[in-house]
Chains A and B, each alone.
Chain A
């Protein structure tokens, strides 16, 4: 997508510790992701991929350099404003699903709308629509303990998209699932990316899963080692 980049890192550093013990998780990374892309991030542990994802998701801020999200200087926003950005524009999917225990599927999906201050009726309608989209309308009153791993992850995806965000950040969403379930989840994410123009940034360890993306970025030692458009991607035109 030409023009203003959706996500932009400019000479971005993230360091932990001080002096001798200082570790650079990200060491001067430059990166641009356009609106509607499906980007997978790979790399060994400690390569900085999780740090990059946390910054993209506005959960963390860079030590130096710029992070621009939708043209906003998100790297220098305070806690409250980043929380607002996350609530309005970003959906999260985690490896461990991270649903609230002993809370029904529909209540879990409604949660982000509560923090947005939406009314009860609007929340019900939108949460039901989101559950329908992930094919779990008939499980709306089930608690996470009563759902399979794949179903839990689909509830988590419903929760992430119920606010109609611009960006979906997924941290190894298939890490706890078997192959069949993993492909179900990936098809769902691909569909959301294609049908709704949802930008997806996903961290994964598995090349097979990464292949669902249109672009794969590989981190090594806080640098981008490779950044390739995925030829196998069935829908790359």
Chain B
């Protein structure tokens, strides 16, 4: 009986293929949006997590100021300078490496080629804290760092652009009009979870960067990596104490800097994604509601069109529940079809996005099953009223219907 009802529903849907398809669009779009969003979202989260773990799990980042909190005035923050960095290096116990860094995007020229790259001024410890090594050549010497001598370690993208298959070491590139010999080549990191090319970079000693490129004494960021066996939370407290001392912050004053570890950055990231997912879900929800109303409408039309058929069925002995089941199943099958199309479309979009942004494609089976179940439920709920209307028809009137 049930299988017959389903095949009856399918043949009725097939008979009105175009109309059925148009009716389904709402559900198709809604489900596709949810599936694409969740699949892309989880892929991005995985990618970001992987990137962050690549940075080194015991890495702490110190920046000036505080992340803005709604309802409070922003803390006025003085820049970090070289003296703060030196003082921290002298006072902090348990740190494996400490590196200051400033960054600016400038034009880099070699011969007739030029590109816009992210230039970072830093010291040799930077490569330790960021767990980033050179594949050929070397990093900065103590002398180069202290003397502010412009020498460059370049990323893979810069190398490819300027030197192709040739050897970059010893070549002199111009970084914002500063002549800078290439001394090292960085290992490739690929694209970040945010879609940035992490290899389009040039590194040079911090003091050279400050004097020749930035024109300021600012140190934007201080990276600290803790020794193995020192917990990041413990390290964070030590940094905060040391920095308050160095920056001469009174006991009743707020910190004018912030220390964050990678898990906190990851969490901030996923909460942002959560908000986005929530908003898109709301849009998808509206689309599904509209889809449901569409189904209700089409089922009302279907019941009216088939009044005579209902009359015949009732006359030859169908019970109300037979008719009710027939139309509810039809609505459910219709909505489920929409759901299946939507899942297909959503996965297709997600696969496309994962290809375009180089993020992992990992569809979740539970989400797919849930989406299919939810679409069927929409059919069930919105199909019920029209079906009931059909089932309650008076057989004599229904038979007379033209």
Q: Write the chain A residue with the least CB distance to B15.
A: A102
Could you mark each residue 121-155 of chain A with 1 if its beta carbon is under 8 Å from any beta carbon of chain B, else 0? 00000000000000000000000000000000000
Interface size class of B (residues with CB under 8 A): 20 to 34
Q: Are A115 and B315 in contact (CB under 8 A)?
A: no
CB-contacts of A14-28 with B (<8 A) = none
Please determine whether B316 and A115 come into contact, CB atoms closer than 8 angstroms. Answer: yes
- A111 and B313 in contact (CB under 8 A), knowing A98-B308, A117-B1? yes
Question: How far is it, in angstroms, between the C-alpha of A100 and the C-alpha of B4 when the chains are bound?
Answer: 15
The complex places the Cα of A57 from the Cα of B399 at a distance, in Å, of 13
Inter-chain CA distance A60–B394, complex, in Å, is: 9
Interface of A toward B, CB cutoff 8 Å? 54, 57, 59-60, 79-80, 83-84, 86-88, 90-92, 94, 98-102, 111-112, 114-117, 159-160, 163
Asked whether, in the complex, the Cβ of B399 is within 8 Å of the Cβ of A112, the reply is no
Give the docked Cα–Cα distance between A219 and B341 (Å): 59
CB-based nearest A residue for B14: A102
Which residues from chain A contact B318 at a C-beta distance below 8 Å?
83, 87, 115
Residues of B within 8 A of A94 (CB): 399
Is the CB–CB distance between A116 and B317 below 8 Å?
yes
Please name 25 pairs of A and B residues whose Cβ atoms are closer than 8 Å in the assembled complex, sorted by A. Answer: A54-B396, A59-B315, A59-B395, A80-B320, A83-B317, A83-B318, A83-B320, A86-B316, A86-B317, A87-B317, A90-B317, A91-B316, A98-B315, A99-B312, A100-B309, A100-B312, A102-B11, A111-B313, A112-B317, A114-B4, A115-B317, A115-B318, A115-B319, A116-B317, A163-B317
- Give the complex CA separation of A163 and B399 in angstroms: 21
- Residues of chain B within 8 A (CB-CB) of A159 are 316
Contact with A along B380-402 (1 / 0, CB 8 A): 00000000000000011001000
B311 (CB) vs chain A CBs: closest residue? A98
Chain B contacts with A in 1-37, Cβ cutoff 8 A: 1, 4, 11, 15
Q: Which residues of B contact A98 (CB under 8 A)?
A: 308, 311-312, 315, 399
Q: Say whether chain B's binding surface is mostly helix, strand, loop, or mixed.
A: helix
> A92 to chain B: which residues have CB within 8 Å?
315-316
* Contact A87 B15, beta carbon cutoff 8 Å: no
Distance in Å: Cβ of A222 to nearest Cβ of chain B: 17
- B4: A residues at CB distance < 8 A: 114
- A163 CA to B278 CA in the complex, in Å? 57
Contacts of B308 in A (CB 8 A): 98
- Measured between beta carbons, the chain B residues less than 8 angstroms from A102 are 11, 15
Complex CA distance for A88 and B318, rounded to whole angstroms: 11
Contacts of B130 in A (CB 8 A): none
For A86, give the chain B residue with the smallest CB separation: B317
CA distance A159 to B318 in the complex (A): 14
Chain A: which residue is nearest B314 at the CB level? A83
Closest residue to A88 on the B side, CB-wise? B317
CB closest chain-B residue, reference A85: B317
Closest Cβ neighbor of B316 among chain A residues = A112
In contact, A79 and B320 (Cβ under 8 angstroms): yes
Task: Say if the beta carbon of B63 comes within 8 Å of chain A.
Answer: no
